[in-house]
Amino acid sequence: MGIIERIDAPKSKNAPRTKTGHVKVGALQKGKAGATKKVTKLPLNSILKMDCVEAMASLPDESVDMIFADPPYNLQLGGDLYRPEGGQVDAVDDEWDHFDSFAAYDAFTNAWLKEARRILKPNGSLWVIGSYHNIFRVGASLQDLGYWILNDIIWRKANPMPNFKGTRFTNAHETLIWASKSEKAKYTFNYRAMKNLNDELQMRSDWVMPICGGQERLKRNGVKAHPTQKPEALLYRVMLATTNPGDVVLDPFFGTGTTGAVAKRLGRDWIGCEKEDSYCEVAEERIEAALPLDESSLKTMQSPKQKPRVAFGTLVETGYLKVGAELCSKNRKFKAKVRADGSLVWEGQEGSIHKIGATVQDAPSCNGWTYWYYKDGKDLKVIDNLRQTYLLATEP
């Protein structure tokens, strides 16, 4: 992978290097009129360090399978915000989030959505995440441009930031719009994978997930590397639901590269556009490195009655259990493999932890949580332990 910049001259021997030591690949060149020339080969698994409209303009028509966009929110913050005890609230007040007016924001939204539509394959799909500040404007623009809305997903934050002033409801969700290019498009939806991920229940349009924190939250010199880093679990579900391995996923507002990191984990190709130098470097480092898990916030154990529901797929989605891991029965007689959608496969049969647990025992039913074990060094541990670990680490 590498970072690609818009340049006036072809790459030289002394091409500049990023802080991580990677050559900055100068692949996108200015044409005569100053516009970026179109490339014939997609710059896969690269960050295009430039304005996303310009970056997308350099890519061929109908060349990407999915676009995930987390655009500026246009928060319009008026002054600093303080907690009751006096500390300053870490809000999004960066230059990239400033627009002079709603009209300016709409013009920007229209420009990137238009380019996104041109480079999207006919059966590709678009995801946009936003808050009440921008999502309604984005929704209207994309409908006006001919996109067809398939769902709006509510990401309910398990641990939202409080409303410090106590003047409004706690703002505890963001909205994701999922849209195809047209009403007739044959978009990808991996229905079965979603059902498996959700313990055999249809996946609903309200997703409860914690905001990005702990070890996953990237820091530079002890401070957050980016104010709006999204959790990998969110992207995992989006990609697992609406793309297939080998698909090309483009993110016009790459930030810390959450989309790229998850795409890499799931065997999808990715392209990121990001105009800020420091974010490009954070993203590049992140995608190259493996992410450690956050087990640091383990506190107390919960009784089974208090346990909120956790789907087995959530453990896979959040990396607590690796895709391809082997589970076995306590006596090690039966061994099954974990797949990306949280299903198990055993001797050619596939299904949930409960279904395959019942199948191997020739029993009418089975509680997969207590039947299956995973290897922890030389020991075997029941997968229910992982559910506990997850619950404790994500406790609000």
Ligand X SMILES: C[S@@+](CC[C@H](N)C(=O)[O-])C[C@H]1O[C@@H](n2cnc3c(N)ncnc32)[C@H](O)[C@@H]1O
Q: Which residues form the interface with ligand X (CB under 6 A)?
A: 51-52, 70, 72, 96, 226, 228-230, 253, 255-256, 258, 273-276, 279
Burial of 383 (0-12, 13-18, 19+ CB in 10 A): buried
Minimum Å distance from CB 10 to ligand X? Answer: 24
Of 22 and 98, CB closest to ligand X: 98
Minimum Å distance from CB 110 to ligand X? Answer: 13
Residue nearest to ligand X (CB): 255
Q: Name the one residue in this structure whose structure tokens are 């690269």.
A: 46
Minimum Å distance from CB 313 to ligand X? Answer: 21
**What are the tokens at 229?**
């880093």
Tell me the C-alpha distance between 15 and 393, whole Å. 44
Tell me the C-alpha distance between 288 and 218, whole Å. 14
Minimum Å distance from CB 32 to ligand X? Answer: 24
Minimum Å distance from CB 46 to ligand X? Answer: 14
Q: Do 76 and 85 contact (CB within 8 A), yes or no? A: no
Of 256 and 359, CB closest to ligand X: 256
Minimum Å distance from CB 70 to ligand X? Answer: 4
Of 89 and 201, CB closest to ligand X: 89
Of 34 and 166, CB closest to ligand X: 34
C-alpha distances out from residue 211 to 153, 234, 298, Å: 15, 9, 17
C-alpha closest to that of 241 among 195, 200, 281, 276: 195
Q: Do 36 and 58 contact (CB within 8 A), yes or no? A: yes
Tell me the C-alpha distance between 218 and 310, whole Å. 25
* Chain-centre distance for alpha carbon 197: 16
Of 51 and 65, CB closest to ligand X: 51
Of 52 and 383, CB closest to ligand X: 52
Minimum Å distance from CB 372 to ligand X? Answer: 33
Tell me the C-alpha distance between 132 and 81, whole Å. 18
Minimum Å distance from CB 230 to ligand X? Answer: 4
Helices 135-144, 102-119: axis angle to 10 degrees equals 50
Of 108 and 320, CB closest to ligand X: 108
Beta strands in the chain (DSSP E): 2-7, 24-29, 46-49, 64-69, 120-130, 148-157, 173-180, 206-209, 219-220, 223-224, 248-251, 269-273, 326-328, 335-338, 344-346, 349-351, 373-376, 379-382
Of 70 and 199, CB closest to ligand X: 70
